[in-house]
Structure 1
Amino acid sequence: MAEDLARTENARQDRAASLRRLIARIGQIVPVGNDRFEVPVGDSVFDRIYGGHLLAEALMAAAATVAEGRVMHSMHCYFLRLGDPSLAVSYSVERLRDTRGFSVRQVRAEQAGKTVTLVTFSFAAPSEGMTHQWRMPDAPDPESVPSRDIELMEMHGAELPVNAGVPWPVDVRHVDQRPWDPAIGDGHHRIWMRVDERLPDDPLLHTALFVYASDITMADAVTVQHPIRWEDLIAGRGYFGASLDHAIWLHAPVRADEWLLHVQESSRAADGRGFTTGRFFDRAGTLVASVAQEIFIRKVGEESGK
């Protein structure tokens, strides 16, 4: 019991340290003129720059060009190249449109003169109108579900798989099938997630951290429906995988430091591409966001096209 408590506390502290590094990094976006911004080289838990990281930084750059009071309500991106964690990233913002109610920005994340990610954000001023939503599915309390970090450390100890992403700055808890389970699943998953540290009441910071977290588990709903194990994909053992695109619709203010239930499913895979959709609910049952993503998976040695 004492060993379990120590492991849990160590994992929490590791996540908190990773979160502080992430917040410091996205807060280091420096304007260099003409709606261009730069971010210095930072640490990475992968052999590439995690897509959610690029999106969070792109959001911070775009928001710096938008009138106060307007908040992101949608985001659409293409991941064009794998980001190199050893290189700095620059962000170029194009002001596509400003109206009385909306501001639209396109952001290019670039490394060594090449576009890595292309993102369009739409920001909206507060307004009133029609309201409805689907009911939140039943789920056990997040406190009753083990943390992903703890489960992985119990399985692997200090010898974690390559690209395992530990420690994430986000506490991820799988309610249903784990992506490393050997059984073939149906691709319907519920996942609780939040950051451990209590954060200031900064809506942009919470949105950026949510954007970061929204990309973490989307591939799982695809891979579990096939004899592709999570470790094989992330470690490049027989397979290569990467996100092709990612979209978010933010329906209500979101807090990254409070539990969110991600209900995700993959309805289709074809031609080496898997499609996943998801809905995020807060503990009060409010549907705060919807997401969609297509991922690319090929056997190593096949023509990749990525």
Structure 2
Amino acid sequence: MQKALADLLACNQLEEIDINLYTGRAAHNSGGRIYGGQVLAQALSAAGRTVPQEFTLHSMHAYFLRMGDPDRQVVYEVEAIRDGRSFMTRRVVAQQYGRAIFSAMLSYQVEEDGFEHARTMPDVPPPEALISDDQRLKKYFPNRTGLWPIEFRKVNPPDLDNLQPSEAVSYNWFRATDNVGEDLATHQQLLAYASDNPILITALNPHGVSFLNPDMATISLDHALWFYKPFRVDDWLLYETHSDVAANGRAWCRGRIYNRKGELVAAATQEGLLRLKNR
């Protein structure tokens, strides 16, 4: 298994230090702070340890409160808010240095039958016709060692050397870099990890600004996920993202995630800070 993916999976196997209390560490240093998707994934891991196997995560609503220190363990405290016959609710607070850096509410449901409909998957080129972001960005990061545990392939990638304003829409295929087994909770954790990556930078498109700009700061404030169908994150998934508004230094973005069969398996929203220094 690719080392970065193996390390990520190992980091999501949190250590239980007391009842409903767990610790985890960052899989890698993301520019001096813990990557938000890592905390999302570990919060899922912590909460999932406290619910029966027949309950599956269907939604998560999270707030990023402070930047996490990648060189220090994160303590995850899980509180059982509600245990019902069809739904269970958990609250997770992640802490470092005695202060909350992240909080989330997670809801779990037993499987049941009901009405079904979904928005049609957009018509885009398949991932086999595209190059990976690692290949595309290699010229900008020539000394980068190791790969991400998730491979992304962007549809219609912009010319980062000559950016022009464009529609606030983005399409990205992604998958884990190796097989991760059959456990649905693991696939949900890795989707949560991946979902924090391309969504907010979609808001930069109308402004012709690159996320590579050293004066550009994009910081996640909150993040929500909904799961509708089982899926495999080690098979290609399409992440369609839109940014509907940016104002007051913030942007709101939404995403839909489809499997190769065109089924809408998950959805996401995120609000974040967009700050361009020296403007």
TM-score higher than 0.5 = yes
Residue 220 (structure 1) shift: 1.9
Aligned partner of residue 190 in structure 2, secondary structure: helix
Pick one of 54, 66, 85 that aligns with 1:69. Answer: 54
Aligned partner of residue 206 in structure 1, secondary structure: helix
Query: For the Cα contact (< 8 Å) 1:142–1:259, is it kept in 2?
Result: yes
Q: RMSD of aligned C-alpha atoms? A: 1.8
Residue 260 (structure 1) shift: 0.4
Gaps of 5+ in 1: 1-12
Query: For the Cα contact (< 8 Å) 1:179–1:224, is it kept in 2?
Result: no
Query: For the Cα contact (< 8 Å) 2:26–2:34, is it kept in 1?
Result: no
Residue 227 (structure 1) shift: 3.6
Report the Cα distance in structure 2 between the residues aligned to 1:222 and 1:107, rounded to whole angstroms.
28
Of residues 29-38 and 70-79 in structure 1, the stretch that sits farther from structure 2 once superposed is 29-38
Report the Cα distance in structure 1 between the residues aligned to 2:59 and 2:106, rounded to whole angstroms.
6
Give 1:110's aligned residue.
Answer: 95
Residue 134 (structure 2) pairs with residue 156 (structure 1): no
Report the Cα distance in structure 1 between the residues aligned to 2:263 and 2:172, rounded to whole angstroms.
16
Task: State the AA in 1 paired with 2:9.
Answer: I
Residue 130 (structure 2) pairs with residue 136 (structure 1): no
Give 2:193's aligned residue.
Answer: 212
Residue 86 (structure 2) pairs with residue 101 (structure 1): yes
Give 2:69's aligned residue.
Answer: 84
Aligned partner of residue 81 in structure 1, secondary structure: coil
Report the Cα distance in structure 1 between the residues aligned to 2:146 and 2:222, rounded to whole angstroms.
24
Aligned partner of residue 230 in structure 1, secondary structure: coil
Q: Could you say which structure has the higher strand fraction?
A: 2
Pick one of 223, 245, 256 that aligns with 1:279. Answer: 256
Within-5 A mapping of 1:43-58: 43-58=28-43
Give 1:178's aligned residue.
Answer: 158
Aligned partner of residue 216 in structure 1, secondary structure: coil
Q: Percent identity?
A: 33
Residue 224 (structure 1) shift: 1.7
Query: For the Cα contact (< 8 Å) 1:169–1:195, is it kept in 2?
Result: yes
What TM-score do you get using the length of structure 1 for normalisation? Answer: 0.86
Query: For the Cα contact (< 8 Å) 1:248–1:289, is it kept in 2?
Result: yes
Residue 263 (structure 1) shift: 0.8
Gaps of 5+ in 2: none
Report the Cα distance in structure 2 between the residues aligned to 1:133 and 1:26, rounded to whole angstroms.
31
Return closer, same or farther for 1:210/1:32 CA change in 2, 3 Å cut-off.
same
Residue 12 (structure 2) pairs with residue 26 (structure 1): yes
Q: Could you say which structure has the higher helix fraction?
A: 1
What TM-score do you get using the length of structure 2 for normalisation? Answer: 0.95
Report the Cα distance in structure 1 between the residues aligned to 2:107 and 2:33, rounded to whole angstroms.
27
Residue 183 (structure 1) shift: 1.3
Residue 210 (structure 1) shift: 0.7
The number of residues matched between the two structures is 278
